[in-house]
Structure 1
Amino acid sequence: KRLIILSRDTRLYSTRRLAEAARRQGHRIRILDPTRCYLSVATGNPAVYFRGRDIRGIDGILPRIGTSITGYGTSVLRQFEILQVTVQNSSDAILRTRNKLHMLQRLAASGIPVPQTGMAFAPEDNPALLRLFPPPPLIIKLIEGSQGLGVVLAENPEAAESVTETLRTLMAHFLVQHYVTESRGRDRRLFVMGTEVVASMERTNRNGGFRANLHRGGHARSIRPSRVEIDLATRAVRVLGLDVAGVDLLETETGPVVLEVNAAPGLEGIEQATGVDIATRMIDALVERIRNTSPMA
């Protein structure tokens, strides 16, 4: 099959692993920087160009679109969808995960437990918003942050007020979230493909921090998730319409809650912690979907 990885950096572990897995199985693979693609939106004649060449005859796409280029990256992906190219995670599904508030609203409305979360628009509503929560600590996070960036732990009411006021002056959009004290700097990442959890790890911040992200000092180990965790993760992916995702769970006194769903989860930490060849499974899943959707199938 003729496949494309949409990625800005060929050196990234996940991009390299996917390309290697595709080549090992005999597929033709290209890595295209979505910011170097340009589009022609025309009735009856849509097109995607890369460095002057019209990109045609592609069977499937693996999008690895970072948060900083969500808008343009998903526009490029949507153009390929219009061209009837099979994609692993649609542009609309990716967009559902990129705004943390919208994502949590969808999950909560579907009965999936999430941490109590709030947002206000007017600065004068900040004090009332903070009063909706139990006494601090509270988590304050940017709506479109990633890899643990743009997340602050406010340990007392004064800190919470100070952080929210500072973010307001910067015209930043943020969420206030209940801090799950019992998680103690731990979370669980379940890697979901379709209706199956193919790999799971627990991430722990060994430095005493509250963020377990591997990019922020976390340590990972392979785990066997419970049936409740598997059910939560697969339901969350289904609600958001994703094919592949990393689902982050926190353990609370009343059971696990979904903290976040990542539409372009990194492969390095979870492959190394679990020994599962996720890259090959992703290629296999995309190729199977291409075959199932092909008019010749």
Structure 2
Amino acid sequence: MKLAILSRNSKLYSTRRLVEAARERGHSARVLDPLRCYMRIASDGFDMHYKGRPISGYQAVLPRIGASITRYGCAVLRQFELMGSVTPNSAEAIARARDKLRTHQLLAAQGIDMPVTVFGDNPDDTVDLLSMLGPPPHVIKLNESSQGAGVILTEKPSASRSVVEALRGLYANFLVQEFIAEAEGADLRCFVVGDEVVAAMRRQAPKGDFRSNLHRGGSAEAVEASDDERKVAVRAARVLGLGVAGVDLIRARRGPLVLEVNSSPGLEGIEAATGVNVAGKIIENLEKADKKAKRRRS
């Protein structure tokens, strides 16, 4: 299988592991910076060049597209799809998952539970908007935040109003959610590949913080996800159309709640905590998708 990995940095742990796993299984793997890919789009076909040379014939593409280049990265991935490449995460699925508001609407429509969320635009509605959520603490999130950046905890009504007004003044898109106190700063990262959770870890926020992201100093340990947690994680990924996803859950009294669905989850933390060859699982799943595509074409 000729495989392209879309990544801006070939030295990143996740990118290196995917290359290693692909080559260990006998595949050709090349890392392509999506910002150096450029396209010809015409009714007679689709072409792609990379750093001055035409590229084609990639049976599969693994996208590692950062949030800052979502729009262009998705355009490049879509071009590969139109040229016949299979991918576990389509351009449309990635764009869907990057929009937290859209993600929550889609998941809620399928009965998947999550922290209660409110969203509004007009400053005149702030007080009533917050009343729809209930009393603080509140968690305020930028709509396209990642790795815990742009996530704020407010503990008083006045603080919630002030943060909302400040973000509106910056024309930022954000959500406000209920705070799940019983989680005690911990969440569960379920790594979904295909139709199963291949690894899971419990992440704990550092003392004095409520964000459990490893990039924010959180710690991680392997954990066995319950049947309900596995089902919720797989369903959430499926609703968004993702074949590879990091689904973050909170263990609440009312059951597992989906916090976020990441379309480009990192491998370093999950592999280190669990010892599972997650990169190998991703390549194995991609092989199955490639075989199905070949059968459809024959």
TM range (shorter): over 0.9
Residue 214 of structure 1 is matched in structure 2 by: 214
Equivalent position SS for 1:16: helix
- Give, in angstroms, the shift of residue 206 of structure 1: 2.8
- Give, in angstroms, the shift of residue 208 of structure 1: 2.8
Uncovered stretches (5+) of structure 2, i.e. residues with no partner: none
- Of all paired residues, the percent bearing the same amino acid is 52
- Give, in angstroms, the shift of residue 55 of structure 1: 1.1
Q: Give the Cα separation in 2 of the matches to 1:153 and 1:129.
A: 17
1:173-215 Cα distance to aligned partner (Å, 9 max, x none): 1101111111111000001111111000000013231100101
Q: Give the Cα separation in 2 of the matches to 1:105 and 1:164.
A: 21
Q: Give the Cα separation in 2 of the matches to 1:101 and 1:231.
A: 22
Equivalent position SS for 2:133: coil
Q: Give the Cα separation in 1 of the matches to 2:156 and 2:11.
A: 42
Contact persistence 1:13–1:267 (CA under 8 A):
yes
Report matched runs for 1:5-20 at 5 Å.
5-20=5-20
Equivalent position SS for 2:74: helix
Report matched runs for 1:133-282 at 5 Å.
133-282=133-282
Q: Give the Cα separation in 2 of the matches to 1:44 and 1:85.
A: 18
Q: Which runs of 4+ in 1 moved over 3 A?
A: none
- After superposition, the CA RMSD in angstroms is 1.1
The answer to whether 1:74 aligns with 2:57 is no
Q: Give the Cα separation in 1 of the matches to 2:77 and 2:23.
A: 22
Residue 22 of structure 1 is matched in structure 2 by: 22
- Give, in angstroms, the shift of residue 265 of structure 1: 0.5
- Give, in angstroms, the shift of residue 26 of structure 1: 2.0
Q: Give the Cα separation in 1 of the matches to 2:143 and 2:48.
A: 30
Q: Give the Cα separation in 2 of the matches to 1:204 and 1:171.
A: 32
- Give, in angstroms, the shift of residue 134 of structure 1: 2.1
Residue 103 of structure 2 is matched in structure 1 by: 103
Equivalent position SS for 2:29: strand
Letter in 1 for 2:279: A
Contact persistence 1:185–1:208 (CA under 8 A):
no
- Give, in angstroms, the shift of residue 102 of structure 1: 0.1
Q: Give the Cα separation in 1 of the matches to 2:124 and 2:266.
A: 39
How many residue pairs get aligned? The number is 297
Contact persistence 1:207–1:217 (CA under 8 A):
no
TM-score (ref. length: structure 1): 0.98
Residue 37 of structure 2 is matched in structure 1 by: 37
TM-score (ref. length: structure 2): 0.97
Equivalent position SS for 2:42: coil
- Give, in angstroms, the shift of residue 128 of structure 1: 1.2
Contact persistence 1:184–1:210 (CA under 8 A):
yes
Equivalent position SS for 1:76: helix
Residue 93 of structure 2 is matched in structure 1 by: 93
1:71-90 Cα distance to aligned partner (Å, 9 max, x none): 11001000111111111211
Q: Give the Cα separation in 2 of the matches to 1:294 and 1:250.
A: 40
Q: Give the Cα separation in 1 of the matches to 2:103 and 2:149.
A: 18
1:142-182 Cα distance to aligned partner (Å, 9 max, x none): 00011111100011111111111111111101101111111
Moved more, 269-278 or 84-93: 84-93
Equivalent position SS for 1:264: coil
1:10-54 Cα distance to aligned partner (Å, 9 max, x none): 111100110111122221111011011111111122111111111
- Give, in angstroms, the shift of residue 246 of structure 1: 0.7
Uncovered stretches (5+) of structure 1, i.e. residues with no partner: none
